[in-house]
Amino acid sequence: MPVTTFTSVKQYLGIATEATQGTAVTTPTATIPFTKFEPEDKPVWLDDKALRGSMAELYNKVEGVIKTDFLLSGPVYGDSLPYLLANVFGDNSAQGAVGTSTTTTGTNSAGSTSLTVTSGTGIANGNILNVGTTAPNQEIVKVLSGGGTTTLTLTTALRYTYAAGQNVSVATAPYTRQYSLLNSGQGQPVSHTFLHFQGPAATTSTRVYAGACLSELNLKFNAESNLFEYDAKGSCYPSTIDGTIPTNSPSAIQAIAPWRGVLGVAGPASGGTKVVTVTDGEILFKRTLEPIFTVQGSQSPYFIQRGPLAVTGKLTFVAADETAYLNMIQNTQPQIQFLLDNGLAGAADITVTVDMQKCAFTAAKYNASKVAVRYDVTFEAVANTTNIGASGGFGPATCTVKNAVDITQYV
């Protein structure tokens, strides 16, 4: 009888955005290539140690509530990173390249799946549309039906409300999305379902992890030795076996080498204020999670609550001067912007930009362990009213991604 084994290199990971946290979506919208996905179901064990007139200690072990923790790592890909950013931040705006234009009529309310315009000329079913005149109250939507008329039915609901006279235009790739901290409503970002083709799971070889919420997303870059990479961790509902084998559809998007990046301190790298002495760094988005368990006849969480978002980081500067140290000792709290571009043109252009308007340098350690002296800097992003989205309030950072993926993939 042959021995049954499962090879680890055949794993793959599907992802889908959930309408309701914990309600699994078993058809993935994308496959995320990864170097590590480590899920672990963690039941709480309840010990029965009630005395029974004997010298034993443990008389029963009862399974209590259960959640799953996971680690996820890999290169950053421009088409899958937005899922993780939406999970951490919650608020986003989007725009594509502008084509045929018209304007809105009447009031088009958030949550509506229809859009009324002054003219439908040049708008066809299946088109992607830019909606909105002023950032960050802008989004892209897809026309389901009504192309060529003044009442368009959309595949997804409007995120924002638009009065008459707002710009509407046919959009083409690349699309630019800015992610920021969601401060409106309950302040809760979307959750995701992971579909892990792993091997041992019966029949389909796949386990489903619903309600996934990230507690950390760490973006890492090293000009000399690594790709642009991320480490993530979080919690979700306990796993189940998938009823079908999910489609494996990794994209052709390539990972990006960090040497293509530019970094600005005390000004935006995108505007020309560049610092060319940073060798490597990390930007960590950290979100408090609280799985809430209630008396509801289920071991699973009632809800996984997101708390505040903190953004911290590390940068290593070659010490051309004392600027990195002075930013710390004088508490100047400069802007930091990191911009990475894959160097391609048009719809193939992929960019990732992290902007932090106000950063407190909390340490600037003199490092003479290598031939060239360095400063090892740690920083904390300070909440401000620049790094915000349509939900307003304060935010510590924004992250903007440009790619060719249309609205049907993201929230």
Please tell me the predicted confidence (pLDDT) of residue 1: 63
Closest to 314 (Cα-Cα) out of 260, 235, 381, 369 = 381
pLDDT tens digit string along 315-349? 999 999 999 999 999 999 999 999 999 999 999 99
Task: Evaluate whether 402 touches 349 at the Cβ level (below 8 Å).
Answer: yes
Q: Count Cβ neighbours within 10 Å for each residue of 305-335 and write b for 16 or more, e otherwise.
A: bbeebbbbbbbbbebeeebbbebbeeeebbb
Over the Cα atoms of the chain, what is R_g? Answer: 24
Dihedral of the alpha carbons of 156, 157, 159, 161, in degrees to the nearest 10: 140
Q: Cα dihedral angle (313, 316, 319, 323), rounded to 10 degrees? A: -10
Length of the chain: 411
| Domain 93-179: assigned CATH number | 2.40.10
- Tell me the whole-structure pTM to 2 decimals: 0.94
Query: Which pair of tokens denotes residue 119?
Result: 């003219």
* 42-59 tens-digit pLDDT: 999 999 999 999 999 999
pLDDT class for 4, splitting at 50, 70, 90?
A: confident
Give domain limits for the chain: 8-89+182-406, 93-179
Per-residue pLDDT at 268: 86
- Interval 203-216: pLDDT, tens: 999 999 999 999 99
